[in-house]
Structure 1
Amino acid sequence: MQRNAQTHYPILLVHGLLGFDVIGSISLFHDVRQALRNAGARVFVPQLSATHSNEARGAQLLAQIERVRERTGADKVNLFGHSQGALAARYAAAIAPTAVASVTSVSGPNQGSEVADVLRKALTPGRLPEQVAEKVAILFANFLSLMGAERGMQQNAIAALNALTTEGVATFNDKYPQGLPEIRGGEGREKVNGVGYYSWSGVLQNNLPDGGLNTLDPVHACLCALSRFFVTEIGQNDGLVGRFSSHLGKVIRSDYPLDHLATLRQPGIAARHGIDPIDLYVQHAERLKNAGL
């Protein structure tokens, strides 16, 4: 059966920290973009700094929203932000609500990341560990640029880390509260200033570190290890972001059996649970289409 996800407004897929559009033959959003296009959507992937603050990446996103609007003739765009991309999308919608039809947060740290808190405490400001960590992160970001990802974009690893801590996101939220729940774990307003707000995310399954098809996935194993640093959302996180920290606007679901990066790809464990992470994007585009967005 042919799917119809032909939204009224174009869709922009916004990557998060250390994300990219294309490196060589690898595209971060390849499967998502292709699935959406196959279902009739107009899809674009903006280029943002791999490492920088939420506001800096949001300003970059705003500039590229304007290019998409000029190219397509559309008045507005739908923003799908993965991880830190959700914060850039929120910034853009708060600054220019007339240019944004909707913001969808996918595994977004909308109340901050407890892993970022741990890293921030471990890296003493101004001392060698922080300088080394920043250098490594910038070298990696520059490597992504050399490989063809986000060429020429400025990088600032420490600004990115600070922007993702609970304190950093709280400061960001004070300025741009649109769509946030009033109570942690609740839902926010679905529409603010004419912009629709939605979110979904996943939770690591308790049995994954001990077995399952994802056990041999080194990225998944790393996320399982990072999940042990959570204090507030123990057992209720995707390895980088807490379940309730991800809530924004209308919550589609926040406990899919998916780790932080699995919301971009099809892992074995998701197939076992009957979850297709890629199809979640198509389903949501259909939802936006039915809402006239």
Structure 2
Amino acid sequence: MKKLLTQSALAATLLTGAVAAQAASYQVCSVSGGCTSTGSIWVTSSYTQTKYPIVLAHGMAGFAKLGPVDYWYGIPQDLVSGGAKVYSTQVASFQSSEVRGEQLLTQVKTILAISGAAKVNLIGHSHGNQSIRYVAAAIPTKVASATGVGGPNKGSPVADVIKGVTNIPGVGTITATTLSSVINAFFLLIDNVAGESYRQDALAGLDSLTTAGATAFNAKYPQGIPTTACGEGAYTVNGVRYYSWSGTGHLTNVLDIVDPALALTSVVFPEANDGLVGRCSSHLGQVLRDNYNMNHLDEVNQLFGLVSLFETNPKSVYRAQANRLKSAGY
């Protein structure tokens, strides 16, 4: 009887250990607050188990986590369930590319320290592309890969149009001052709710995403940027592997209330686009695909997973990229 009880206790211990080993979470990071774990996620495979942690960088008007809502809706959880170590970062919602890049750099250094990892895999959406490119240029020996998603690497006509309005004599200055004050105040509140208190600068953010602003940034940080109008950039620069993907959809789900707005902004583009970023502007390093039937928010599975039912699910694209990085030894 004693032997039987001992065997039962051993089996229970092994079972408990197996369950504990399967429990994981992703981390939410900020400059002032460091990184904190979210709730437990059940790891069911090793499909996305990259050698180095995956670091997510949000775009303009973004956040890491706002209450129960992730900017990357359901994506961190999905990657963790496949074995990846994931860190979701938060920088200023509206700021220049350089300021946002420096904020991300601080967090990446923290992530490297707390994880003990030698490098990280960076993934940036929208204005987050400039952030990851800044970090990859600053500490290339600590970055294994940089993947851009719907990034305005060569600027956005939408930003050019808004900038043009702010330059109208007499009216432009008043309009710019009023709008920027409202935007700065609102996103200061958003950041506070999300656990951060960055200084917002809507006009600096706008300037960064104009064609002229992007051109100036690219002159300082050219790594991975195509030298032709719509080609690919260098796949590897200073040991960092560059990738990108994007969409050209607009009205992808009738239930998504944001889709009509993105369809409206799409008309200012001379090329296929996702509503805010042109297909060619999104190119960085190796272009995995640039014509998914996804609009700019679909690329991060927003709003709330209301994406096209007739296209690859965004979460699947991130899983595939993580597996690609894993296979490459990253």
Counterpart-to-counterpart distance in 2, 1:182 and 1:129: 36
What is the Cα deviation at residue 38 of structure 1? 0.4
**Matched residue, 1:47:** 90
**Partner SS state of residue 71, structure 1:** helix
**Partner SS state of residue 218, structure 1:** coil
Counterpart-to-counterpart distance in 2, 1:10 and 1:16: 20
What is the Cα deviation at residue 32 of structure 1? 0.7
What is the Cα deviation at residue 268 of structure 1? 5.2
**Partner SS state of residue 180, structure 1:** coil
**Matched residue, 1:85:** 128
What is the Cα deviation at residue 269 of structure 1? 5.4
**Matched residue, 2:300:** 264
Contact 2:223 2:237 in 1 (8 A): yes
1:21-54 deviation line (CA, Å, top 9, x unaligned): 1112212124110010001000001120111011
What is the Cα deviation at residue 123 of structure 1? 1.1
**Matched residue, 1:60:** 103
* CA radius of gyration, larger in: 2
Contact 1:138 1:155 in 2 (8 A): yes
Counterpart-to-counterpart distance in 1, 2:267 and 2:254: 16
Counterpart-to-counterpart distance in 2, 1:166 and 1:48: 22
Contact 2:133 2:223 in 1 (8 A): yes
Q: 1:277 aligns with which of 298, 302, 314?
A: 314
**Partner SS state of residue 258, structure 2:** helix
For the pair 1:203 / 2:242, whether they are aligned, the reply is no
What is the Cα deviation at residue 73 of structure 1? 0.6
What is the Cα deviation at residue 2 of structure 1? 3.8
Q: Residue type matched to 1:277 in 2?
A: P
What is the Cα deviation at residue 145 of structure 1? 2.0
Identity %, equivalent residues: 43
Number of equivalent positions: 282
Give the 5 Å matches for 1:37-186. 37-124=80-167, 127-149=173-195, 151-186=196-231
Counterpart-to-counterpart distance in 2, 1:167 and 1:82: 20
Counterpart-to-counterpart distance in 2, 1:99 and 1:127: 43
Higher relative contact order, structure no. (Cα contacts within 8 Å, ≥ 6 residues apart): 1
Contact 2:188 2:199 in 1 (8 A): no
**Matched residue, 1:26:** 69
**Matched residue, 1:248:** 284
**Matched residue, 1:238:** 274
Q: Residue type matched to 2:308 in 1?
A: A
Contact 1:224 1:239 in 2 (8 A): yes
Contact 1:215 1:221 in 2 (8 A): no
Counterpart-to-counterpart distance in 2, 1:75 and 1:216: 43
Q: Residue type matched to 1:278 in 2?
A: K
What is the Cα deviation at residue 66 of structure 1? 0.7
Q: TM-score, length-normalised on structure 1? A: 0.92
Q: 2:253 aligns with which of 203, 210, 214?
A: 214
What is the Cα deviation at residue 154 of structure 1? 1.7
For the pair 1:226 / 2:261, whether they are aligned, the reply is no
Counterpart-to-counterpart distance in 1, 2:103 and 2:82: 28
Moved over 4 A (4+): 266-269
Q: Residue type matched to 2:264 in 1?
A: A
**Partner SS state of residue 272, structure 1:** coil
Counterpart-to-counterpart distance in 1, 2:300 and 2:150: 10
Gaps of 5+ in 2: 1-43
What is the Cα deviation at residue 148 of structure 1? 2.2
120-129 or 180-189: which moved more? 120-129
Contact 1:257 1:269 in 2 (8 A): no
1:158-213 deviation line (CA, Å, top 9, x unaligned): 000000001000000011000011112111111000000000000025xx3xxxx6
**Matched residue, 1:291:** 328
**Matched residue, 2:51:** 8
Counterpart-to-counterpart distance in 2, 1:6 and 1:26: 24
**Partner SS state of residue 158, structure 1:** helix
27-36 or 79-88: which moved more? 27-36
**Partner SS state of residue 90, structure 1:** helix
